Amino acid sequence: DGGITQSPKYLFRKEGQNVTLSCEQNLNHDAMYWYRQDPGQGLRLIYYSQIVNDFQKGDIAEGYSVSREKKESFPLTVTSAQKNPTAFYLCASSEQGSYNEQFFGPGTRLTVL
């Protein structure tokens, strides 16, 4: 089955620690995205990548970092610089072109203790 996997589903972190969220897709999509969702709110874009070895900041990139070394993988690191990291994180992918629908993974719920 083609799709997007995110791991882990739930993640707990102590303050001051960096943590990396995994996102893998086997849809052969060029573009990948990371969104943050807070309770009762819509999605906000953190980073996106249109092609391997290239990525761009979204609206709320501060305190986050990404890499895109392989087409199928787009990991997100939440650094200690992120002031309020507790949220639901969604990864998505699409064919290249901003007009294409995005397909989403199941999400990772990050809680900072």
Contacting positions for other proteins (CB under 8 A): 31, 33, 40-43, 45, 48, 50, 56, 58, 88, 90, 92, 97-99, 101-107, 109
**Torsion sign, CA atoms 19, 25, 28, 33:** negative
The least CB distance from residue 75 to other proteins, in Å, is 18
Hey, what's the torsion of the CAs at 34, 39, 77, 27, to 10 degrees?
Answer: -30
d(CA 112, CA 107): 16
Q: Which is nearer to other proteins, 22 or 80 (CB)?
A: 22
The SS3 call for residue 32 is: strand
The least CB distance from residue 71 to other proteins, in Å, is 17
The least CB distance from residue 67 to other proteins, in Å, is 17
